[in-house]
Structure 1
Amino acid sequence: MQLFYNPSLDYSAKQFIFPPDESKHMVRVLRKSEGDIVHITNGKGYLFEAEIMEADPKKCRARIVSEKKSIPKRYKLHMVVAPTKMNDRYEWFLEKATEIGVDEITPIICDHSERKTLKLDRMERVLQAAMKQSLQTVLPQLNPPISIKEFLETGTEPGLRFIAHCQNGEKMELKRKVIADNDITILIGPEGDFSDDEIDMAKDKGYTPIALGRNRLRTETAAIVACTTVAMINN
């Protein structure tokens, strides 16, 4: 099954017209014709089945045959991850985290961050492509970059809250702290790690220090290990 994405589609829709780029791809590349069935998601949990009525490469028109709402997960995973120096490594994290099952992503700017600007439009496209590739119907929420101080001061995230860092001190492995069916927020720092002040600030806000194994991990690797650990505990 190939999945298409359009955020404006809702459960009351009867017909749908694909935008020009997707129409061309569907007719010229995928060789779709009248009567063929295609699948579309709005990224909000709905999967639509549609029958092509007009295979026009400029304006492909389809009739909605059925719609189905996916069963919501019993938990929400919010990954709060500092941007990496190289954009492609952060995009790799976005792609894999979406495939594994992340619900919300917030880039945080830290004292040791080397990159402080991000191309959100490009990142959003990476999330959309990963959602379609993995045949999911919920698009992760991508928030604008924010400083860690501002993030911690804006409010308390629900559920379990963790901060992964490389400094010495008392820490337990994440897999021993995760409780199934609970919302989870995990802070992952930049290549230079969180500063001592940032760690203390997070602890004051109720974030528990955790380890992600014995080895020192890159930012994007640590984030994926955290996503995988949470998914395994909840599956």
Structure 2
Amino acid sequence: MNIDIESLDWELLERVAVTEGRRLSKESWNIDDISPAASSALAEIYVERYLDAPEAIVLPLAEAAAEEFEERYSRDASYPDWPAEFIVGHALAVNARDHACADIGLCSDRFRERALCEGDHWLLDKMGRVTADRLEGVDLDRRVMSEQSICARDVMERAADFELDDGTTALDVLPLTAFEEIAQGLMSSFGNIDLDYSDLEDIDSRIEDALSGLLCDKGHRSKAIGR
């Protein structure tokens, strides 16, 4: 199998590499993978760096992947007709995770010594203005996001219910990328919705609940002021 790097669809290649990397992030990689969350996140960054170096990194990895593909599948009666972008993208994801695990593994060497050596800052260099929330380990300005979620498969399953005049469904017509774009668009649109009055009333109710546990023993009652 020959892979012409100049003819690759780089947008598809990047999408495959990122998606494959995220799929693999759900599993511990090897015995040296001391933090799968860290290695998978670092691997995604490495994929981006790989794609910024097509000749120096992507090409040799693509050639190695093509050679391995031939060794694995050339004698297979059902020779898979996978696009080159998938083969190379998957290879980039796997290599990036190996790369990330190896680099993180190096951090384990002399860990205590580096932790206690003199750094670039005094330990209290970044103290800044100390506020009451910081003393309690709270960030009053951190935005708390909704836990709503949806995946492209959810959209795809609903698309099967959209029947067209010729007997097909939206599932038969739309590309898989459309389902992902719809899911992403929906979740992004939620970010533009402000809390309405009922949401604010719910907050008031939750404040009351939080207070009740603290004040019930003292016989106090609380009421939202000006509501």
Q: Normalising to structure 1: TM-score of the pair?
A: 0.19
Higher helix share: 2
Task: Kindly name which structure, 1 or 2, has the bigger radius of gyration based on alpha carbons.
Answer: 2
Q: Normalising to structure 2: TM-score of the pair?
A: 0.20
Higher strand share: 1
